Amino acid sequence: MVRSLTLVLGAGFLIASAHGELQLTPRLSEYKADGATLKHLEFSDGGKSVTYQPPRGWDYFGSATRLTLSPPNRPQAEATISRIPLSQPGSFDDESVKKLVSDAVAMVPKGSENNSVVSQEKGPLMIQGKETFLLTLRYTFYGQKYGRSILFLNRGNEQIRFQLTCHEADFNELHRVFLRSHYSWREL
Boundaries of every domain in the chain: 56-184
pTM beyond 0.85: yes
Q: Which residues of the chain, if any, have pLDDT below 50?
A: 1-18
DSSP class of 46: T
Buried b (16+ CB within 10 A) or exposed e, 28-41: eeeeeeeeeeeebb
pLDDT in tens, 19-51: 558 999 999 999 888 888 889 999 999 889 999
Task: Reply yes or no on domain 56-184 having CATH 3.40.1000.10.
Answer: yes
